[in-house]
Amino acid sequence: MTGIIGIDLGTTSSAVAIYKDGHPTVITTSEGGHIPSLVTFNRSVATTILQCLKREAESYLGVPVRQAVLAVPSYFDDKQREAAKEAGRLAGIDILHILDEPAAAALAYSMPDSERRLMGLAADENIDPQGIVALGAALQARLLGGDVPAGRLKDVTSLSLGLETMGGLMTTIIPRNTPVPVRRTEIFSTSEDGQTEIEVHVVQGERPMASDNTSLGVLQLEGMPAAPRGVPQIEVTFEIGSDGILHVNAEDLATAAAQTLSVTIENAVAATHVQRLLEEAASHEVEDSRRRALIEAQNLARQTIYQTERCVQHLNGLKGRSDCKEKREEISVKVEALQAALVGRDVERIRTLTVEVRDTCTVLNQLAYSRVCKEGDNAASDRHSRSRRSRKYAEIIVEQL
């Protein structure tokens, strides 16, 4: 048995539960029922309710209670959640974790795959529906108290978390169903030459387009040194603690300038909406897949054009060689065709022209490299010939002397 209790701070009534003798149990109050709760949140009232629940739990267990997992209405915002934690502190309780009420109820009822088994309750058990949220909180308390064998009971991310990247795509950093706590770091860069600021848009959801998902916030990095696209390195870290709060940090590695965003991800999308969002993603899967394929093809094409134009500029100094000149002209024609294709939505044509531009640029690089090598060999041969003539002339002078 863990000494951490589970509390449901509900809108109509509140309850407290404890995991004991192999299952969670709602603690019946001295009055034989649940404690009336608060219709709207008030910290002083919440403190009084929590003090009352603490006393009931201590009377039931016969030991002091100092820690709890708290379930709150899903509409509570970050300020209300922080105020609830403060109410717990004032009541003499350290709130270790805050759950949405729907998530706590789902935790109490569900028993998913064997890897992340929730040790929940069978749906046909005779459970007081008013106590189900407190039971789920007690199950979570059991996890935090270390009474569960490693790997048997874990929180997981309900939806994927990531960033909006080039073309409006969502790049996933933490996939759905990742066990928490978790920390992931990736490196990103700029998409335009000379960018001195970058916007890090954090989103949550399962759709490939960032605009179709839930926006969690935006970080703005400013004052970056101007540089060619792709050169700056922006380190982005996503971290979710056992408290369910997502911390996002974005840092420019060149200047060490950084910005941080924190958001309670359980509140961003209520647990009751997760299934609807998953069904919505499934219903749009075909059109979303086509849209992602088009944008990815366009991104690769633009990157190829950029790299090719820089390559051609670098090789413009090679004059007087007809094969190089012909390839430069061929590249110019293919780049124009690819730019025209980008206006349309023919993914296969964009991909085909992208490969043609890349391959032609590769041939031009090979021709330029072979010329440089040949000129280097000729220069070395000339130096060797001059050296031999110098040695022969010196020998003749010695003989004359």
234: domain CATH number is: 2.60.34.10
Stretch 325-333: mean pLDDT: 82
Residues 201 and 277 in one domain: yes
Average pLDDT (341-362) is 91
- Looking up tokens 């911390």 gives 247
Instruction: Kindly report, residue by residue over 263-306, the tens digit of the pLDDT.
Output: 866 544 555 577 788 889 999 999 999 999 999 999 999 999 99
Residue bearing the bigger pLDDT, 262 or 122? 262
Q: Residue 194 carries which DSSP code?
A: T
Do 313 and 344 share a structural domain?
yes
pLDDT the model gives residue 125? 47
Least confident of 187-191, 262-266, 326-330: 262-266
Q: Which of 13-22, 247-256, 260-269 has the lowest mean pLDDT?
A: 260-269
- Whichever domain contains 82, its CATH number is 3.30.420.40
The pTM of the whole model exceeds 0.75? no
Helix (H, G, I), strand (E, B) or coil at 7: strand
pLDDT at 362: 85
Start-to-end C-alpha separation, the chain:
109
3-state SS class at 3: coil
Q: What is the pLDDT of residue 392?
A: 52
19 has a pLDDT exceeding 50 = yes
Asked if residue 210 has pLDDT above 60, the reply is yes
Number of domains within the chain: 3
CB 188 within 8 A of CB 165: yes
Q: Choose one of 283, 300, 328: the last residue of a domain.
A: 283
Give the C-alpha separation, 239 to 185, whole Å.
9
- DSSP symbol at 298: H
Do you know the residue count of the chain? 401
Confidence of residue 400 (pLDDT cuts 50, 70, 90): very low
- Verify that 9 and 140 share a domain, yes or no: yes
Domain boundary among 109, 144, 179: 144
Q: Which residues of 264-294 are buried (b: 16+ CB within 10 A; e: fewer)?
A: bbbbbbbbeebeebeeebeebeeebeebbeb
CA distance 95 to 98: 7
Whether residue 99 has pLDDT greater than 90: no
| Cα–chain center distance at 304 | 27
Lowest mean pLDDT among 5-19, 110-124, 168-182, 352-366: 110-124
The residue range of the domain holding 322 is 286-384
Residues 294 and 223 in one domain: no
Choose the final residue of a domain: 283, 299, 334.
283
Q: Are residues 183 and 308 in the same domain?
A: no
Residue 31: the pLDDT is 64
pLDDT more than 70, % of the chain: 76
Element spanning 184, H or E: strand 182-188
Q: Look at residue 74 and tell me whether its pLDDT is greater than 90.
A: no
pLDDT score for 180: 82
Q: Pick the residue with more confidence: 222 or 122?
A: 222
Continuous H helices in 171-284: 265-268, 271-283
The answer to whether position 150 is within a domain reads no
Tell me the mean pLDDT in the region 94-115. Answer: 72
Tell whether 247 is covered by a domain: yes
- Asked whether the beta carbons of 315 and 368 are under 8 A apart, the reply is yes
Q: Which residue has the higher pLDDT, 236 or 74?
A: 236
Distances (CA, A) of 321 to 364, 371, 372, 374: 11, 9, 12, 13
Residue 401 in any domain: the answer is no
Q: How far apart are CA 292 and CA 295, in angstroms?
A: 5
Q: pLDDT category, 119, cuts 50, 70, 90? A: very low
Which residues contact residue 303 at a Cβ distance below 8 angstroms, ignoring those fewer than 6 apart? none
Closest CA to 238 of 225, 249, 229: 249
Tell which wins on pLDDT, 175 or 77. 175
Asked if residues 15 and 133 have their Cβ atoms less than 8 Å apart, the reply is yes
Strand 35-36 and strand 13-20: pairing?
antiparallel
Q: Judge if 127 and 188 occupy the same domain.
A: no
- The CATH number linked to 374 is 1.20.1270
Averaged confidence pLDDT in the chain: 80
pLDDT tens column, 134-154: 998 998 888 777 655 444 445
At CA 349, angle to CA 346 and CA 350, rounded to 5?
A: 85
